[in-house]
Each structure stands twice: as C-alpha cells, then as structure tokens.
Amino acid sequence: MPVLSVRDLSIEYRTRRGPVQAVRDVTFDLAQGETIAIIGESGSGKTTLAVGLIRLSPRSARVTKGEIRYDDGKRAFDVLSLDSERLRRFRWADCAMVFQAALSAFNPVITIWEQFLDTGRAHGMGDKHKVHDRTRELLDLVHLDPKRVLTAYPHELSGGMRQRVLIAMALLLDPRIVILDEPTTALDILTQRAIIDLLRELRGRLGFSTIFISHDLSIAAELADRMLTMYAGRVVERASVDDLFYRPRHPYSVGLMRAVPRVSGALGSVVSIPGSPPDLIRLPRGCSYYPRCPFHIEQCLAEDPPLLQVDTPNHEAACIRWEAVAAALGSDAEAPVAEKLA
Amino acid sequence: MTAATGLIDRRDVSRIPARLAGIVEFLRMMSRKPVGLIGLIGVLFFLFLAYVAPFFVPLQDTVDVTAIYAKPSFAHPLGTDFQGRDVVNQIVYGGGDIITTAILAALFSTVIAITFGSIAATVGGRIDALILAITDVALTIPQLILLIVIAAIFRPSSFFALAVILALLQWPALLRQIRAQVLSLKERDFVEAARSLDLGLMHIIFREMLPNMRSYIVIHFIIAMTLAIYAQAAIMFLGLVPLSGKNWAIMLYFAYNQGALFFKDSFLYLMGPIMAIALFQLSLVWLASGLEDVFNPRLRN
Amino acid sequence: MATITPAQGELQVRTFQRSPLSRARGHLGGLWGRPITQAIAKALLTIYVTSTITFGLIRLMPGSPVEIKIDELMQGSGMSYADAAAQASGLFDINLNAPIHEQYFEYLGNLAHGNLGSSFLSRGTSVMSIILSVLPWTLFAVGTGLLLSFVLGIALGLVAAYRRNSLLDHAVSTAGSIISSVPGYLIALLIILIFGIQLRWIPITQMRGAFTSGITPGFTPQFLGDILFHASLPITVFFLTHIGLWILSMRSATLAALEEDHVTVARARGLTDGRITTAYVGRNAVLPLVSQFAIAAGAVVGGAVIIEQIFVYQGVGLRLVASVNQRDYPLMQGIILMTTVCVIIANLAADLLYSKLDPRIGRAGGAGGK
C-alpha cells in the first residue's frame, strides 16, 4: 500500500487575467521508504504541487479536482477532505515539509528551543522534558550542538545550520512523509554536500518516505528512487532514476538531460531548450510542449497526451512519439544522450 | 497580449495630446482608490472657496446687533455671529489667509529641507554630521510649545512672518527623507555618469536627483500644509498672535472668548469654522494618501 | 557520518547592529561603542542646544524680553538705563553687568543644578517647583489616553488585518483615518459643542480643573475617582487623536507580518492559529509600534497645550499659556526645557525598549556549529 496516492490533482490560482492552471491532473504514488524527486523548470508547478499536498497554498489558490490519499497502515484518509483541526494535526506529524532555510523560515524573535517546543506542544507533547530530550536527540542526529543551538536566535545561525535545524524539527514528530522543497538551493557547495549526505543518513536510519523538489538534476540523481518530470503543471514522465537518466522517453526530459553539463561530457554538448513555457491561463490545444519539441507532429496538437506506458516497466511518458524518442536515443549508454540529438 | 498595465487601453489615449493624456491617466489612477479623489475634490473646493469665491461674494462687515446668533435662514445659511455678521460670509473670506500662510510655510520648509538635505548627503563628512545633529535637536523640541513661545516673543505681525516661523519648525522630517534619498541615489549609475561628465553639483542635484524625489516632495508639501494649518489655528485660538482679519482660526478665538461655546444658538457659528478646518485637513490628508498610492506602483495592489 | 566539513562549523560573527532609531540618528563622532552611551550623549547635547536656544530667545534676540523689560521700566517709571537694567537683572535672575558669555555660563551652571530660576509673578517660587506641581497632571492624562488608545488600536488593527477587505476592515480603517486627520483641539471643541452643549450629556462645567477642591488629595478611591472624572475629557481627546494612528500602523504591520515566510512555515508545522497570531504574527508586528508609542508619548506633551486650555485642565499646557499671557519668561523658558526633557526621556525609552524586544538588535551572535 503506497503511503501517499495522488490522483488527478489539479490546482488553479485566481488572477486578474483569469485562472492560472498551475497543477493539472497530477497522478503518482509514493511507497513506504521511497524517495521521489520532482524535477522541472521554474513555473512548472512543482512547488505549487508540494505546498498543495499539505494544503498550504495561498488564499488565491483552489483545488479544482483530485484526491490525495494518505495511508500509513493505521489510518487512511483523503487529505483534501480533512477539516481544519484534523488538517492541522496531519501537518508535520504525518507529513512534514522542509522549506528553503532562508532566515525568514524561522520566527526571528523567539529562540530555536521555543520553536521546537511550540511544534511539540501543538501536537500534544505536553511534557517539556520529553520534547527537550527528543529535540536533543534529533539535533545530535543532524550533527549540531544542542547547547549552542537551542538558546540561539535564528539570525545567529548560519544558513547550513538553519537547514539542519529545520530538518531536525521536521523529524520531531516522526512523520511518515517528508517533503523537501529545494533544500540545498540557497547553500554553498560544501554545505550542499553535507546536507545531502545527512539526508541519506537520516533516511536510512528512520525510514521515512521523501518527496524531493528540485531543479538540480544531480541531487535528484543521488537521492531519488523514482522521478517525476513536470512541465506546465502536468507530469510528463514517471520513471525510476536509472530509466530517466539513461532511457528518457519524453522530449522534455531528454531536453533536461541535455541541458546539464557533465564533467565527462564533450565541450559543446550542452544545449538548452529553445523557447519558453506556455501561458498557463490560456493553454494551447494539445500537447503543451509542442512549440519546443523536436519530435512534434500534426497529431500532437489534437489533444493533451495521457501518460503512456513505454518500453521499460513502471515507466510512463506523456508523449505519443515516445517510440521515436527511444529510437533516436538508441540503447542504454548515457553519454550518447547528449550528442545523439546535437 | 493585452496592454502591459491593463490600466488604459492605449488605443484611445494615442488620440489625445500627451499632456491631457497624462492628466487623464492620473485621474484614472486616483479613482481606483476613492479616498484620493475625494481628497483632491475637497482641496480644490476649498481653494476655490478661499481664492475665487471672494470675487463673487461681497464682504459683509456691518455689525447688526439685532441679529446676534440668528437661526439659519435663506439670508444667513449658517446663522450669524456675536456681532450679527453672516457666518457663511466669514467662512468664505476666512480661508485665504490661513491657506496662503500654510502654502508659504510648506514652501519654505520644503526649500530648506531640499537644500540642506542635498548638501548634507552630497558633501558628507563633518557638515553632514552637523546638519544631522541640528535636525535631531529640532525634532526633539516639542514644536507647539516652542512655537507658542516664539510667537509670544516675536509677535509676528504679518502672515509672511508667521509663515517663516512655522517653516522653521517643519523642515526636519523632509530633510531626513531627502538626505536618505540622495544618499542612495548618489551611488546610482546616472549620477556617476553625470559626475564623470563634470556637470557640477547644482546640476546634479537639481536636474538628475530631484526629479526622482518628486513624489516625496509633493507629499511632504501637503503634509506640511496640514501641520501649518494645525499650528496656525492653535496659536490664533490661544490669542497669541496680534493678527486681525477674519480667518477661521480667529473665528474660533472670538467664539471661545465671547463664550459662544456655551450658548445653544451659536452652535453653527462654531461648527462653521471647525468643520471648515477639519474638512480641509481631511481633504489634504486624503489627497496625500491617494497620491502616495499613485506614486508607489507597488502599493497599487 | 562523523566528520564535519569546515563549512559546517562556520562561526557566525554578527557585525554590531544598532537599533533603527540610533542608526537613523547618524554617525555623529564615529565610533563610540555601546549605543546607550551614544544615546545619552545625544540627549545631553539636545538639552544643551535647547537651553542655548531659550537663552538666546530670552536674552539675545532683538526685541528680547530683557530689552523690552528695560524699555518698559525706563519709559514707565522714568528710570535710567542703569537702574532699569538693575531691576531687570533681578527679575530675570541674570547679571546684566557681566559680559554675555559669563551670563551664559552662569545660566548653564544654574541649569546643571536644576535651578530654572524664579517665576516673575510669584517671586519666591522656583520655576522648577511650579512645573513639578503641574507636570504630573499632564502626564497622567496624556499617559492614560495614549495607553488606552494603544491597547485598543492594536487590537482593532490586528483584527482589521486578519479580516482584510471585509466590512469591518473598511469601517475601522476609514474611521481611523478620519479621526486621526482632525486636529485634537477640534475634536475637543466638538465634544464640548455637541455632547456638552447641544445634547447636554456631559456636565462640562463641573469637569473643569484637575480635581474638585474640597476633596482631600490622597490615594483614596474617592479622590482617584474624582481625578478620573476631571481628566476623562482630556483623556478621551488624547485617546481619539491617537487611536487612528495605532489602528492603521498595526494593520499594515500585521499585513506585512502575515506575508512573512515563517508564518507559512508555522502553519506547515501545524501550530494553532492562536499561537501563530500571538507569538508569530503579533509579536513581530507590534515591535516597531512600541517605539512609536514611546515617541508619541513624548510628542504629545506639546500638543496637550490647547486641549488643557479648552478643558481648563491644570496641567503644564495651561500653565504655559498663562505664563505667556503674563509674560512670565523664566516660567516659559523652564517649560520649554522640561518638556524637551520629557521628549528626550521618551525617545531614550523607545530606543531601549526596541533593543530589548528585538533580539536581532545589538546581540553579538556566534553560535558555532559542531
């Protein structure tokens, strides 16, 4: 039983020009202990999706359809159907979200300890000592000194330290799911490495499932089991990490792979995708990737392609031309993906 | 894609000459938030009343003892005062002095603030520190109290002198703002360019920087006017200034001193000037608020 | 993973930050060390400059009171310049024969001892004692009015922000905007006019003065009730004059605080709305308002003058007007100085409060990681 089952989730924003369909018909499963990375460019809907999973979208956003089924073996329900009190308890205790640890992720006027205490108290942990013990445990796990960190105010900690504190706080209530939204983007490269290693270690020890949002493919490659590619609010490919990197079947995924420079790659093999994403208010008919796609044909404009099973198991791509893509890429080798389409 | 701002359809406007188009756009932006527009109308109304109306309404100065505190009638829509003079007439004639003095005071304080603020920011160093220190001190002394004492000592006998005194108490706030703005603008590219072209300090200040500060200056000017009116009315009400004339504040002074406060019938005699001052202040404040929205595109949401 | 890379152990060294007010006050003199020293130095400087200004006003300006007095005496009683000067000298407590700078230093010296001179009218009474007898009344009325308006204004502003664009929000914001634009004394006059005279709801004649003579002063409920009765109208006016400011400031501060990321994170953490409103939104929004309050407290002492005149409330404002009418220059001078001191103390308190309440100010940080 997957711990999270998202079916046909659609979220739109109200704007003056009309509703922006930021997330369209998103469907995926998250298994126990699995890590899924959601990748895509800015504006693809990844963050809207992530925030929407815990219903924390801004006031102007609305879920127009779909369901988010949570099942941890003891309880099962649709997150979208929760009333506000049950939703409040669901958040953090069952599903925690780690944001980019900018300074403003913490309340600047209270100490780190008080913020842990707040979190504990909000979820029924009345005993201060229990909360304190658990907090110390977690801070040790993330390799921070509780004595120094707990009495400090947020602005007194460095970016890397704050990110660790956020991760520790996320694990306070032992959630089944941890959502990470660009957890390493704002950090320098050494700290990034440290955080990635930390996440891997924690995941191994505590066994939670992870949803990872990133535009950084290399991090996704390190941490994820499966990947979702999003474009213009839709999931355009669902595959295992290996499949997506070595055998992408959607032209956009192929484009993403080509856009990342490789240490071993030949000079000149990096190509960005020409054009820009469509207007999410007035979506064109048919496949939204059409204008930028080197594989497009007339029929692509007929309707938005559904996710189709491709040539490897548990691998779907929303493209009617996936076979052509597969043919163009040839076999397994990774390096040729960049050059074959040059 | 429709027009970028979505505010006006560019097609219509291109047919109107540029100046007029600017005014039209301005009014449209103001009407988004009614407060500003109401303020503008109010201010224009009072300006008209104070400066234009006296040409049409003859001054009624005759004392008519039989008609003291008369009830409102067609001849005297707001009744009469303690000497039988028409109240409406006094209100019409009562605005000019106050508003003129307020404008002058605002003008002086704005000039002082711009001059010394720019100097402080561009010259920097000791002079900057000195100007800042003086500004700080000026901000700390309770203004009304100092004003009262100065008025008592110097007894300004003309509105001009009064305006000067009022201006001396109001420049600090704007000076700080101007200084901060100039300091930040100093680092900007176009100033760098002007300096490298050796265009001279005055030119840089007046032709390059000031146009960027228009919004602050205009809004401050309006607020300075409200403060000037507040201060004027205060000291005239207290009877500290040997000014004759028939302005709203003096009306209040007479009213208070003649005990009109305690007569039931003299209600309108008092409400007249009170309402005039209050509504004018309100209009000015709302105009400033509306302008603030217009000048600051970020606030428009 | 046991080893820590160097990046993790960065020491956070915070450059020393000053409170916004102190920063805004400029960099007089450069490096000074603790801000409190700077603030006190600034305060002393202001007192010094103010006293010099009043000295100048009274003594140096053309048409200064001293000169006028001398003229008066010469013309009225036909005295010679020397005699007139001598008498004026006694009246003004200045040695007119000494050179100007000596007079100045004597004046400053007196000030340092808290000697503000003697009142013209009551020749034995020191200005300081007169001021000290009336200042508390003003502070009481102003303080109570401001405090009440602050508490209520903050509450209303918070609610208005939470219910943005609702009818309540529009009503409260518009009402606040209107009331705060009308000068205080006009509100006072309107209260008397409408509620006192026309509707006869308030017995204004009975409310004149600071307390009813006949009741012995003391901490008895009777006396305290009486004081409140007499001060209620001035308190109401101060309340009304300021509440608009608090409502609008708190509203915009709350709206800004609600946009902050940490509020979103707090919701994601499943914190209750109550806790978020008080500790996350409220505390951050109110922060700048606290020092605004202190500053307003200092500033309003000046504006109280006319209010006291209208309600015949015997505070320092009423005394000032009386002293102006009576040409009691030492008293006028003393009042300027004392009220300036009040403003200075209020500003210092504002700085102090702000730096105490906001942990980001003035704390040398540095929690090193491990």
Question: What structural domains and CATH numbers belong to chain B?
Answer: 61-290 (1.10.3720.10)
- Chain C residue closest in CA terms to B267: C193
Say whether pLDDT at B107 is over 50: yes
Comparing A40-54, A267-281, B208-222, C166-180, the range with the smallest average pLDDT is A267-281
| Residues on chain C touching A178 (C-beta within 8 angstroms) | none
Q: Which of A190-204, B261-275, C205-219 has the largest mean confidence? A: A190-204
pTM comes to 0.79
State residue A151's pLDDT score.
Answer: 92
CA distance C369 to chain B (A): 37
Question: Quick one: average pLDDT of A242-265?
Answer: 81
Question: C-side interface with A, Cβ within 8 Å?
Answer: 1, 4-8, 10, 12, 14, 260-262, 264-272, 275, 279-280, 283-284, 287, 357-360, 363, 365-370
In A, which residues are within 8 Å of C266 by CB distance? 107, 118
* Mutation for testing the C interface, residue in B116, B132, B140 having most C CBs under 10 Å: B140
Task: Compute the average pLDDT of residues A31-50.
Answer: 89
**Where residue A29 falls among pLDDT bands split at 50, 70, 90?**
very high
- Least CA distance to A172: which residue of chain C? C269
Strands (E), chain A: 4-15, 18-30, 35-39, 61-71, 76-78, 95-98, 177-181, 209-214, 226-231, 234-240, 308-309, 316-317
pLDDT at res. A118:
92
What does the pLDDT read at residue B301? 40
Beta strands across the sheet bearing A76-78: A18-30, A4-15, A61-71, A76-78
pLDDT band (50, 70, 90) for residue C271: very high
Cα A92 to Cα B230: distance, rounded to the nearest angstrom? 55
Q: What is the mean pLDDT of residues A48-70?
A: 91
Q: Which residues does chain C have within 8 Å of residue B137's beta carbon, measured at their own beta carbons?
A: 45-46, 49-50
pLDDT score of C367 more than 60:
no
Does position B79 have pLDDT exceeding 60, yes or no?
yes
The C-alpha atoms of residue B128 and residue C252 are separated, in whole angstroms, by: 33
Average pLDDT over chain A, rounded to an integer: 86
Amino acid at site C196: G
Kindly determine whether residue C190 and residue B274, on different chains, have CB atoms separated by under 8 Å.
yes
| Strand, helix or coil for residue C182 | coil
From chain C, pick out residues whose CB is under 8 angstroms from the CB of A152. 365, 367
pLDDT in tens, C205-214: 666 666 666 6
Distance CA A305, CA A287 (A): 6
The residue type of A139 is L
Nearest to C370 among A102, A106, A143 (CB): A143
pLDDT at B260: 67
Mean pLDDT along residues A174-197 = 86
pLDDT of residue B88: 76
Residue B284 Cα to chain centre, angstroms? 7
Give the per-residue pLDDT at C277.
92
pLDDT-based confidence at residue C347 (cuts at 50, 70, 90): confident
The answer to whether the CB atoms of A105 and C262 lie below 8 A apart is yes
Q: Which of A183-197, B1-15, B96-110 has the highest mean pLDDT?
A: B96-110
The Cα–Cα gap between B172 and B142 comes to: 13
CB A172 within 8 A of CB A119: yes
Which CATH fold would you assign to the domain A4-224?
Rossmann fold (3.40.50)
The predicted pLDDT at position C31 comes to 45
pLDDT at C185: 85
Sort out which chain B residues have CB atoms less than 8 A from C185's CB and list them. Answer: 233-234, 237
Residue C150: per-residue pLDDT: 93
Q: What pLDDT is stored for residue A240 in this prediction?
A: 93
Lowest mean pLDDT among A186-190, B65-69, C35-39, C318-322: B65-69
Q: Enumerate the domain spans of chain A.
A: 4-224, 229-340
Q: What does pLDDT average to over chain C?
A: 77
Return the pLDDT at A121.
Answer: 92
Q: Nearest Cβ partner of A160 from C7, C279, C360?
A: C7
pLDDT-derived band of residue A238, with 50, 70 and 90 as boundaries? Answer: very high
pLDDT tens column, C239-268: 999 999 899 999 989 998 998 889 999 999
Q: Report ipTM for this prediction.
A: 0.85
A94 C-beta neighbours (distance < 10 Å), count:
21
- Report CB contact under 8 Å: C340, B142: yes
pLDDT, average across residues B277-289:
88
CA A323 to chain centroid, in Å, comes to 28
Nearest chain C residue to B130, by CA: C28
**Which of chain A's residues have a Cβ under 8 Å away from the Cβ of C262?**
104-108
Look at the block and give the residue holding tokens 């600051």. B296
pLDDT tens digit sequence for C4-28:
344 433 333 334 455 555 555 554 4
Nearest CA-CA partner of A157 in A204, A105, A209: A105
Residue A209's pLDDT band (cuts 50, 70, 90): very high
| Residues B288/B220, Cβ–Cβ less than 8 Å | no
**Cα B151–Cα B156–Cα B162 angle in degrees, nearest 5:** 85
Q: Which of A123-127, A217-221, C365-369 has the lowest mean pLDDT?
A: C365-369
> Looking at beta carbons, which residues of chain B come within 8 Å of C248?
none
Residues C87-137 pLDDT 10s: 777 766 666 666 777 777 777 777 777 777 777 666 667 788 888 888 888
Average pLDDT over residues A26-51: 90
* pLDDT at residue B16 in the model: 54
Residue B282: which of C181, C303, C310 has the nearest Cβ? C181
| Cβ distance of A107 and C279 shorter than 8 Å | yes
**How close A101 comes to chain C (CA, Å)?**
10
